Amino acid sequence: MITENIQKILKTIPGDVTVLAAAKTRSVEMVREAHQAGLIHFGHNYVQEAAAMIPVIQEEIQWHMIGHLQRNKAKQALGLFDMVDSVDSQRLADELEKQARQLERILPIMIEINIGEEEAKAGIDPNQALQLADYIGNLSHVQLAGVMTMGPLSGDPENSRAYFKQTRKIFEQIKSVQPDIQILSMGMSHDYLVAVEEGATMIRLGTAIFGERPQKV
């Protein structure tokens, strides 16, 4: 089923759009099947869950931290992930800079924007995104690769369109100053087609690839 789902998804999007598979609560076997079906980018929401999976999987995978990252987990995160997609403050950027410097590596990161300014969601206020991007641009061991956002979790994908348009504007404003940023990560299983229409270069899919998560008892 996973392989068939991925084949269907890839037929619906342009070839230059990257699919990131959200692996939260999924098994090692499911991730391996998705990788064998052609996916390279996988994301985890929690450091602890990633720590149980990533060392077990030997396949060549690009691992992304896509959930809210607490600063006290930054050191552990750098031991697991290739990229942190969810930076939402100068303090977190500073901590990642510190840890990356100690490891003598350059860490690609993305700014997570809370485009709907929803209290329940992580991410920086859209009005502060340019300032954070400018700040990150002056750091030496973290490298701004793009921006990430999440549309509202509603039944109608069209409800996300205005938020995606706004995020793309912010992305383009940042890119005009920092032309190296390439990734506009937006769109999930329910609204990824709208996100692609609005310029997403990366989409984050869980249910569309792996099916519904089992309900918690």
- The model's pLDDT over 96-125, given as tens digits with 9 standing for 90+, comes to 999 999 999 999 999 999 998 877 788 999
Report yes or no on 153 lying in a domain: yes
184 lies in some domain: yes
pLDDT band at 59 (very low <50, low <70, confident <90, very high): confident
Return d(Cα 129, Cα 68) in angstroms, integer: 16
pLDDT at 34: 97
For residue 45, being part of any structural domain is answered with yes
Nearby residues of 194 by Cβ (< 8 Å), 6 or more positions away: 151, 157, 158, 160, 161, 164, 187
Tokens of 68: 């809210």
Q: Kind and range of the H or E element at 166? A: helix 161-177
Mean pLDDT of the chain: 95
Q: CATH no. for residue 93? A: 3.20.20.10
Question: Domain for residue 120, yes or no?
Answer: yes
- Mean pLDDT within 36-58: 96
Q: Is residue 217 part of a domain?
A: no
Number of independent structural domains in the chain = 1
pLDDT > 90: percent of the chain: 90
* pLDDT at residue 146 in the model: 98
Domain range for 199 is 2-210
Structure tokens, 109? 């990161």
Q: Considering the domain boundaries, does residue 216 fall inside one?
A: no
Q: Which of 152, 199, 173 is nearest to 13 (CA)?
A: 199
Look at residue 199 and tell me if it is in a domain: yes
Task: Answer yes or no: is pLDDT of 126 > 60.
Answer: yes
How many helices (H) and strands (E) the chain has is answered by 9, 8
Report pLDDT for 217: 47
Q: What is the pLDDT of residues 129-184, one digit of tens each?
A: 999 999 999 999 999 999 999 988 777 899 999 999 999 999 999 999 999 999 99
DSSP 64: E
Residue 215 lies in a domain: no
Q: Which of 109, 135, 137, 112 is nearest to 124 (CA)?
A: 112
